[in-house]
Amino acid sequence: MDIEQVIEFLAHVPLLQRLPGSSFAKIAEIAQFKHYNRGEFIVRVGDAGDGIYFIWEGVAEVQGSINDSEEFHEDRSEFQLKRHDCFGHGTDTSYHQAAVVALDKVTCLVLPNEYSTLLEPLSIWSATETEENSMIERILQLDPVEVNLFRGFTPPDAPQYAKCYGGQIIAQALAAAAKTVDHFKLVHSLHSYFLVGGDQNMPILYQVRRLRDGNSFATRSVDATQNGKIIFTLTASFQKEESGFEHQDIKMPCVPAPETLLRKEELRDRQLFDPRLPKNYRNKAAGRKYMNMPVDMRFCEPHTYTHQIKNPSSTMFWFKAWGKLSDDPALHRCVVTYISDYISLTVSLNPHRKRGLKPILLSLDHSVWFHRPFRADDWILAVIDGPSASGGRGFSQGRMFNRQGELIVTLIQEGVIRAAKPRPPVAKSNL
Protein backbone atom coordinates (compact mmCIF):
# COMPACT_ATOMS: atom_id res chain seq x y z
CA MET A 1 0.00 0.00 0.00
CA ASP A 2 1.30 3.47 -0.91
CA ILE A 3 2.53 5.30 2.20
CA GLU A 4 0.69 8.50 1.18
CA GLN A 5 -2.58 6.56 1.23
CA VAL A 6 -1.76 5.28 4.70
CA ILE A 7 -0.98 8.81 5.93
CA GLU A 8 -4.26 10.12 4.52
CA PHE A 9 -6.14 7.25 6.19
CA LEU A 10 -4.50 7.95 9.56
CA ALA A 11 -5.31 11.66 9.25
CA HIS A 12 -9.02 10.78 9.25
CA VAL A 13 -8.88 8.74 12.46
CA PRO A 14 -10.51 11.04 15.08
CA LEU A 15 -8.32 9.78 17.92
CA LEU A 16 -5.16 10.65 15.96
CA GLN A 17 -6.13 14.13 14.76
CA ARG A 18 -4.69 15.72 17.91
CA LEU A 19 -1.20 14.51 16.91
CA PRO A 20 1.45 16.70 15.26
CA GLY A 21 1.45 16.37 11.49
CA SER A 22 4.94 14.86 11.57
CA SER A 23 3.70 11.87 13.59
CA PHE A 24 1.57 10.47 10.77
CA ALA A 25 4.51 9.66 8.49
CA LYS A 26 6.29 7.87 11.34
CA ILE A 27 3.23 5.78 12.18
CA ALA A 28 2.64 5.00 8.49
CA GLU A 29 6.18 3.66 8.12
CA ILE A 30 5.85 1.34 11.12
CA ALA A 31 2.23 0.12 11.06
CA GLN A 32 1.49 -3.28 9.51
CA PHE A 33 -1.52 -4.60 7.61
CA LYS A 34 -3.37 -7.66 8.89
CA HIS A 35 -6.30 -9.38 7.16
CA TYR A 36 -9.19 -11.35 8.67
CA ASN A 37 -12.00 -13.41 7.15
CA ARG A 38 -15.63 -13.28 8.20
CA GLY A 39 -16.16 -14.84 11.62
CA GLU A 40 -12.46 -14.80 12.45
CA PHE A 41 -11.34 -13.39 15.77
CA ILE A 42 -9.19 -10.28 15.46
CA VAL A 43 -8.43 -10.47 19.19
CA ARG A 44 -9.70 -12.82 21.89
CA VAL A 45 -10.44 -12.20 25.55
CA GLY A 46 -7.19 -12.56 27.48
CA ASP A 47 -4.97 -12.08 24.42
CA ALA A 48 -2.13 -9.61 24.71
CA GLY A 49 -2.75 -8.52 21.13
CA ASP A 50 -0.25 -7.01 18.73
CA GLY A 51 -0.83 -3.33 19.48
CA ILE A 52 -3.30 -0.63 18.43
CA TYR A 53 -5.71 -1.73 15.67
CA PHE A 54 -7.19 0.69 13.12
CA ILE A 55 -10.01 -0.59 10.90
CA TRP A 56 -8.89 0.01 7.30
CA GLU A 57 -11.91 -1.68 5.67
CA GLY A 58 -14.73 -3.98 6.65
CA VAL A 59 -16.82 -4.20 9.82
CA ALA A 60 -15.95 -5.87 13.11
CA GLU A 61 -17.90 -6.26 16.34
CA VAL A 62 -16.92 -6.18 19.99
CA GLN A 63 -18.10 -9.26 21.89
CA GLY A 64 -17.95 -9.26 25.67
CA SER A 65 -19.92 -9.19 28.88
CA ILE A 66 -20.95 -5.53 28.66
CA ASN A 67 -22.68 -5.53 25.27
CA ASP A 68 -24.21 -8.95 25.93
CA SER A 69 -26.32 -7.56 28.78
CA GLU A 70 -30.02 -6.81 28.23
CA GLU A 71 -29.36 -3.08 28.27
CA PHE A 72 -27.51 -3.30 24.96
CA HIS A 73 -29.47 -6.02 23.15
CA GLU A 74 -31.59 -3.57 21.16
CA ASP A 75 -28.75 -1.65 19.53
CA ARG A 76 -25.47 -3.41 18.87
CA SER A 77 -24.28 -0.73 16.42
CA GLU A 78 -22.46 0.98 19.30
CA PHE A 79 -20.14 -2.02 19.34
CA GLN A 80 -19.54 -2.27 15.63
CA LEU A 81 -16.17 -1.03 14.43
CA LYS A 82 -15.91 0.48 10.96
CA ARG A 83 -13.35 2.35 8.87
CA HIS A 84 -11.25 4.78 10.97
CA ASP A 85 -12.37 3.19 14.27
CA CYS A 86 -9.65 1.84 16.53
CA PHE A 87 -9.16 -0.38 19.58
CA GLY A 88 -6.40 -2.05 21.56
CA HIS A 89 -3.74 -0.95 24.00
CA GLY A 90 -0.09 -0.04 23.86
CA THR A 91 1.59 -2.39 26.33
CA ASP A 92 2.74 -6.00 26.09
CA THR A 93 1.54 -6.72 29.62
CA SER A 94 -2.11 -5.65 29.12
CA TYR A 95 -4.78 -8.11 28.03
CA HIS A 96 -7.94 -7.60 25.98
CA GLN A 97 -11.08 -7.55 28.10
CA ALA A 98 -13.35 -8.32 25.13
CA ALA A 99 -13.13 -10.20 21.86
CA VAL A 100 -13.35 -8.48 18.48
CA VAL A 101 -14.74 -10.54 15.58
CA ALA A 102 -14.77 -9.76 11.85
CA LEU A 103 -18.35 -9.49 10.52
CA ASP A 104 -17.04 -9.61 6.95
CA LYS A 105 -13.58 -9.41 5.41
CA VAL A 106 -11.65 -6.98 7.58
CA THR A 107 -8.30 -5.30 7.06
CA CYS A 108 -6.60 -3.68 10.04
CA LEU A 109 -3.62 -1.39 10.24
CA VAL A 110 -1.74 -2.35 13.40
CA LEU A 111 0.71 -0.15 15.29
CA PRO A 112 2.95 -2.52 17.31
CA ASN A 113 2.97 -2.12 21.09
CA GLU A 114 6.57 -0.94 21.25
CA TYR A 115 5.71 2.14 19.14
CA SER A 116 2.58 3.19 21.04
CA THR A 117 4.45 6.21 22.48
CA LEU A 118 4.00 7.82 19.05
CA LEU A 119 0.36 8.34 20.08
CA GLU A 120 1.36 10.37 23.14
CA PRO A 121 3.66 13.21 22.03
CA LEU A 122 4.70 15.88 24.52
CA SER A 123 3.04 18.57 22.39
CA ILE A 124 0.13 18.74 19.97
CA TRP A 125 2.43 20.74 17.66
CA SER A 126 5.64 18.74 17.67
CA ALA A 127 6.58 15.14 18.38
CA THR A 128 10.02 16.31 19.51
CA GLU A 129 9.26 19.11 21.97
CA THR A 130 12.32 20.78 23.47
CA GLU A 131 12.94 23.56 25.96
CA GLU A 132 13.76 25.84 23.03
CA ASN A 133 10.12 25.96 21.94
CA SER A 134 8.97 29.57 21.72
CA MET A 135 6.70 31.18 24.31
CA ILE A 136 3.84 31.49 21.82
CA GLU A 137 4.00 27.78 21.06
CA ARG A 138 3.75 27.03 24.78
CA ILE A 139 0.77 29.39 25.10
CA LEU A 140 -0.97 27.52 22.29
CA GLN A 141 -0.25 24.09 23.75
CA LEU A 142 -3.46 22.30 24.77
CA ASP A 143 -4.06 19.19 26.86
CA PRO A 144 -6.35 16.70 25.08
CA VAL A 145 -9.04 15.59 27.55
CA GLU A 146 -11.26 13.65 25.14
CA VAL A 147 -11.39 13.34 21.36
CA ASN A 148 -13.37 16.60 21.09
CA LEU A 149 -12.39 18.29 24.36
CA PHE A 150 -9.20 20.22 25.15
CA ARG A 151 -7.87 22.20 28.09
CA GLY A 152 -5.90 25.44 27.73
CA PHE A 153 -3.85 27.42 30.23
CA THR A 154 -2.17 30.79 30.62
CA PRO A 155 1.54 30.08 31.29
CA PRO A 156 3.11 32.16 34.09
CA ASP A 157 5.42 33.97 31.64
CA ALA A 158 2.60 34.81 29.18
CA PRO A 159 1.25 38.38 29.00
CA GLN A 160 -1.05 39.02 31.98
CA TYR A 161 -4.04 41.35 31.92
CA ALA A 162 -7.04 42.00 34.16
CA LYS A 163 -8.85 39.32 32.14
CA CYS A 164 -7.55 36.56 29.91
CA TYR A 165 -6.18 38.10 26.70
CA GLY A 166 -8.77 37.72 23.94
CA GLY A 167 -6.23 36.75 21.29
CA GLN A 168 -5.16 33.83 23.45
CA ILE A 169 -8.73 32.54 23.72
CA ILE A 170 -9.35 32.84 19.97
CA ALA A 171 -6.07 31.13 19.12
CA GLN A 172 -6.51 28.31 21.63
CA ALA A 173 -10.07 27.71 20.40
CA LEU A 174 -8.79 27.59 16.84
CA ALA A 175 -6.06 25.16 17.93
CA ALA A 176 -8.70 22.90 19.48
CA ALA A 177 -10.76 22.97 16.28
CA ALA A 178 -7.68 22.30 14.13
CA LYS A 179 -6.87 19.23 16.22
CA THR A 180 -10.18 17.58 15.27
CA VAL A 181 -9.63 17.95 11.51
CA ASP A 182 -7.37 15.89 9.28
CA HIS A 183 -4.08 17.77 8.93
CA PHE A 184 -4.48 18.13 5.16
CA LYS A 185 -7.20 20.71 5.80
CA LEU A 186 -6.23 24.16 7.10
CA VAL A 187 -8.44 26.93 8.45
CA HIS A 188 -9.42 29.51 5.82
CA SER A 189 -11.87 31.53 7.93
CA LEU A 190 -13.10 31.90 11.49
CA HIS A 191 -15.85 33.92 13.15
CA SER A 192 -16.07 34.35 16.90
CA TYR A 193 -17.92 36.10 19.73
CA PHE A 194 -16.74 37.03 23.21
CA LEU A 195 -19.52 36.50 25.75
CA VAL A 196 -17.87 36.87 29.16
CA GLY A 197 -14.36 37.85 30.20
CA GLY A 198 -12.07 34.91 30.90
CA ASP A 199 -10.14 34.31 34.12
CA GLN A 200 -6.47 33.85 33.23
CA ASN A 201 -5.80 32.10 36.55
CA MET A 202 -8.09 29.22 35.63
CA PRO A 203 -7.88 26.66 32.80
CA ILE A 204 -10.32 27.00 29.90
CA LEU A 205 -12.12 24.00 28.44
CA TYR A 206 -12.64 23.98 24.67
CA GLN A 207 -15.51 21.74 23.53
CA VAL A 208 -15.43 21.07 19.78
CA ARG A 209 -18.42 20.05 17.67
CA ARG A 210 -17.81 18.42 14.31
CA LEU A 211 -20.44 20.15 12.19
CA ARG A 212 -19.36 18.78 8.81
CA ASP A 213 -16.61 16.73 7.17
CA GLY A 214 -16.51 16.87 3.38
CA ASN A 215 -13.92 15.96 0.79
CA SER A 216 -12.69 19.55 0.43
CA PHE A 217 -14.09 21.39 3.46
CA ALA A 218 -14.73 20.74 7.14
CA THR A 219 -16.55 22.92 9.67
CA ARG A 220 -16.10 23.06 13.42
CA SER A 221 -17.66 25.04 16.26
CA VAL A 222 -15.97 25.54 19.62
CA ASP A 223 -17.37 26.63 22.98
CA ALA A 224 -14.85 27.89 25.54
CA THR A 225 -16.06 27.40 29.11
CA GLN A 226 -14.99 28.26 32.66
CA ASN A 227 -16.94 27.20 35.75
CA GLY A 228 -19.50 25.58 33.46
CA LYS A 229 -20.26 28.91 31.74
CA ILE A 230 -19.63 29.57 28.04
CA ILE A 231 -17.35 32.60 27.78
CA PHE A 232 -16.55 32.48 24.06
CA THR A 233 -17.73 30.75 20.91
CA LEU A 234 -16.03 30.20 17.56
CA THR A 235 -16.93 28.70 14.19
CA ALA A 236 -14.14 27.83 11.76
CA SER A 237 -14.03 26.42 8.25
CA PHE A 238 -11.15 24.29 6.98
CA GLN A 239 -10.18 23.49 3.39
CA LYS A 240 -7.93 20.98 1.70
CA GLU A 241 -5.29 22.69 -0.44
CA GLU A 242 -6.24 23.11 -4.08
CA SER A 243 -5.21 25.19 -7.06
CA GLY A 244 -7.56 27.73 -8.65
CA PHE A 245 -7.97 31.30 -9.85
CA GLU A 246 -5.44 33.79 -8.46
CA HIS A 247 -5.46 37.58 -8.29
CA GLN A 248 -4.68 40.34 -5.79
CA ASP A 249 -5.77 43.94 -6.33
CA ILE A 250 -4.51 45.23 -2.97
CA LYS A 251 -0.87 46.29 -2.82
CA MET A 252 1.25 46.19 0.28
CA PRO A 253 2.11 49.70 1.51
CA CYS A 254 5.67 50.89 1.06
CA VAL A 255 7.23 50.71 4.53
CA PRO A 256 10.73 50.42 6.01
CA ALA A 257 12.22 46.93 6.32
CA PRO A 258 11.72 45.45 9.81
CA GLU A 259 15.48 45.15 10.39
CA THR A 260 15.75 48.96 10.26
CA LEU A 261 13.08 49.55 12.91
CA LEU A 262 13.16 49.54 16.69
CA ARG A 263 11.71 46.62 18.59
CA LYS A 264 8.63 47.43 20.67
CA GLU A 265 10.73 47.06 23.83
CA GLU A 266 13.42 49.41 22.50
CA LEU A 267 10.80 51.96 21.46
CA ARG A 268 9.34 51.99 24.96
CA ASP A 269 12.76 52.40 26.57
CA ARG A 270 13.56 55.30 24.27
CA GLN A 271 10.24 57.01 25.05
CA LEU A 272 10.96 56.84 28.77
CA PHE A 273 13.95 59.12 28.24
CA ASP A 274 12.63 61.26 25.37
CA PRO A 275 12.51 64.89 26.63
CA ARG A 276 9.91 65.76 23.98
CA LEU A 277 7.34 63.73 25.92
CA PRO A 278 5.64 65.20 29.01
CA LYS A 279 7.53 64.40 32.20
CA ASN A 280 4.33 63.26 33.90
CA TYR A 281 3.67 60.78 31.08
CA ARG A 282 7.20 59.39 31.27
CA ASN A 283 7.04 59.00 35.04
CA LYS A 284 3.75 57.10 34.86
CA ALA A 285 5.02 54.92 32.01
CA ALA A 286 8.14 54.06 34.00
CA GLY A 287 5.99 52.89 36.91
CA ARG A 288 3.79 50.64 34.79
CA LYS A 289 4.53 46.93 34.64
CA TYR A 290 5.70 46.14 31.12
CA MET A 291 4.68 42.83 29.56
CA ASN A 292 6.83 41.20 26.93
CA MET A 293 4.80 39.91 24.01
CA PRO A 294 5.61 36.44 22.61
CA VAL A 295 6.21 38.09 19.22
CA ASP A 296 8.79 40.59 18.01
CA MET A 297 6.84 43.75 17.07
CA ARG A 298 8.31 46.69 15.15
CA PHE A 299 6.12 49.68 14.37
CA CYS A 300 6.69 51.27 10.98
CA GLU A 301 6.31 54.80 12.33
CA PRO A 302 8.11 54.96 15.70
CA HIS A 303 6.32 58.01 17.05
CA THR A 304 6.13 60.26 20.06
CA TYR A 305 2.39 59.72 20.50
CA THR A 306 1.06 59.44 24.01
CA HIS A 307 -2.36 58.43 25.21
CA GLN A 308 -3.01 62.06 26.09
CA ILE A 309 -3.60 63.39 22.57
CA LYS A 310 -5.60 62.39 19.52
CA ASN A 311 -3.81 60.02 17.15
CA PRO A 312 -4.58 58.68 13.66
CA SER A 313 -6.98 55.74 13.58
CA SER A 314 -4.44 53.50 11.86
CA THR A 315 -1.11 51.79 12.43
CA MET A 316 1.33 49.51 10.64
CA PHE A 317 3.81 47.14 12.21
CA TRP A 318 5.96 44.14 11.38
CA PHE A 319 5.82 41.10 13.62
CA LYS A 320 7.07 37.54 13.89
CA ALA A 321 7.16 34.94 16.63
CA TRP A 322 10.23 34.88 18.83
CA GLY A 323 12.34 31.80 18.09
CA LYS A 324 11.61 29.07 15.57
CA LEU A 325 8.19 27.47 15.49
CA SER A 326 7.36 23.85 14.79
CA ASP A 327 6.48 23.16 11.16
CA ASP A 328 2.77 22.37 11.65
CA PRO A 329 0.98 24.92 9.37
CA ALA A 330 -2.00 24.98 11.75
CA LEU A 331 0.27 26.36 14.48
CA HIS A 332 1.37 29.29 12.30
CA ARG A 333 -2.26 30.27 11.64
CA CYS A 334 -2.99 30.11 15.37
CA VAL A 335 -0.02 32.41 16.07
CA VAL A 336 -1.31 35.05 13.65
CA THR A 337 -4.77 34.70 15.19
CA TYR A 338 -3.22 35.32 18.62
CA ILE A 339 -1.63 38.63 17.58
CA SER A 340 -4.62 39.76 15.47
CA ASP A 341 -6.51 40.80 18.62
CA TYR A 342 -3.62 42.71 20.19
CA ILE A 343 -3.96 46.21 18.76
CA SER A 344 -7.09 46.16 16.60
CA LEU A 345 -9.41 47.98 19.01
CA THR A 346 -6.94 50.64 20.12
CA VAL A 347 -6.84 52.25 16.67
CA SER A 348 -10.59 52.96 16.91
CA LEU A 349 -9.97 54.79 20.16
CA ASN A 350 -7.00 56.85 18.92
CA PRO A 351 -9.01 59.80 17.48
CA HIS A 352 -10.76 60.24 20.85
CA ARG A 353 -7.78 60.23 23.20
CA LYS A 354 -7.27 63.14 25.57
CA ARG A 355 -5.59 63.92 28.84
CA GLY A 356 -7.18 62.04 31.74
CA LEU A 357 -9.18 59.64 29.55
CA LYS A 358 -9.52 56.20 31.10
CA PRO A 359 -10.90 53.96 28.36
CA ILE A 360 -12.70 50.63 28.55
CA LEU A 361 -11.86 48.29 25.66
CA LEU A 362 -13.63 44.94 25.26
CA SER A 363 -13.68 42.69 22.20
CA LEU A 364 -17.16 41.68 21.04
CA ASP A 365 -16.58 39.75 17.84
CA HIS A 366 -13.59 38.84 15.74
CA SER A 367 -13.28 37.36 12.24
CA VAL A 368 -10.20 36.27 10.31
CA TRP A 369 -9.72 35.07 6.73
CA PHE A 370 -6.56 33.25 5.66
CA HIS A 371 -5.74 33.70 1.99
CA ARG A 372 -2.29 32.20 1.39
CA PRO A 373 0.26 30.02 3.21
CA PHE A 374 2.84 31.68 5.47
CA ARG A 375 5.17 31.11 8.39
CA ALA A 376 4.57 33.12 11.56
CA ASP A 377 8.28 33.02 12.43
CA ASP A 378 8.99 35.06 9.28
CA TRP A 379 8.24 38.79 9.13
CA ILE A 380 4.60 39.73 8.51
CA LEU A 381 3.31 43.27 7.96
CA ALA A 382 0.06 44.18 9.73
CA VAL A 383 -1.90 47.18 8.41
CA ILE A 384 -4.71 48.10 10.84
CA ASP A 385 -7.25 50.93 10.65
CA GLY A 386 -10.38 51.88 12.56
CA PRO A 387 -12.67 53.67 10.09
CA SER A 388 -15.67 54.00 12.40
CA ALA A 389 -16.76 54.32 16.02
CA SER A 390 -20.37 54.77 17.12
CA GLY A 391 -22.83 53.66 19.76
CA GLY A 392 -20.09 52.79 22.22
CA ARG A 393 -18.49 50.39 19.72
CA GLY A 394 -15.34 50.65 17.66
CA PHE A 395 -14.91 48.94 14.30
CA SER A 396 -11.49 47.98 12.99
CA GLN A 397 -10.15 46.08 10.02
CA GLY A 398 -6.74 44.84 9.08
CA ARG A 399 -4.69 43.19 6.39
CA MET A 400 -1.48 41.22 6.68
CA PHE A 401 1.21 40.76 4.03
CA ASN A 402 4.32 38.63 3.76
CA ARG A 403 7.61 40.21 2.71
CA GLN A 404 6.88 39.41 -0.93
CA GLY A 405 3.81 41.66 -0.76
CA GLU A 406 1.29 38.84 -0.91
CA LEU A 407 -1.96 39.33 1.02
CA ILE A 408 -2.07 36.46 3.50
CA VAL A 409 -4.70 37.48 6.10
CA THR A 410 -7.69 39.80 6.45
CA LEU A 411 -9.30 40.52 9.82
CA ILE A 412 -12.32 42.46 11.09
CA GLN A 413 -13.18 43.22 14.70
CA GLU A 414 -15.77 45.15 16.65
CA GLY A 415 -15.59 45.91 20.34
CA VAL A 416 -16.75 48.13 23.15
CA ILE A 417 -14.87 51.43 23.46
CA ARG A 418 -16.09 53.61 26.31
CA ALA A 419 -14.80 56.24 28.64
CA ALA A 420 -14.81 54.93 32.18
CA LYS A 421 -17.21 56.80 34.43
CA PRO A 422 -15.40 58.95 36.98
CA ARG A 423 -15.55 57.71 40.52
CA PRO A 424 -17.76 59.77 42.85
CA PRO A 425 -15.73 62.01 45.14
CA VAL A 426 -15.08 60.72 48.62
CA ALA A 427 -17.08 62.68 51.19
CA LYS A 428 -14.92 64.68 53.55
CA SER A 429 -15.08 63.82 57.20
CA ASN A 430 -16.67 66.37 59.54
CA LEU A 431 -14.39 65.32 62.35
Catalytic residue ranges: 341, 363, 413
Q: Is 367 left (phi over 0), alpha (psi -120 to 50) or beta?
A: beta
Cα dist. 84→53, 60, 108, 414, 426 in Å? 10, 12, 10, 41, 68
- CA–CA gap between residue 299 and residue 277 (Å, rounded): 18
- Do residues 33 and 54 lie in contact, with contact meaning Cβ atoms separated by under 8 Å? no
Task: Choose among 98, 206, 69: nearest CA to 149.
Answer: 206
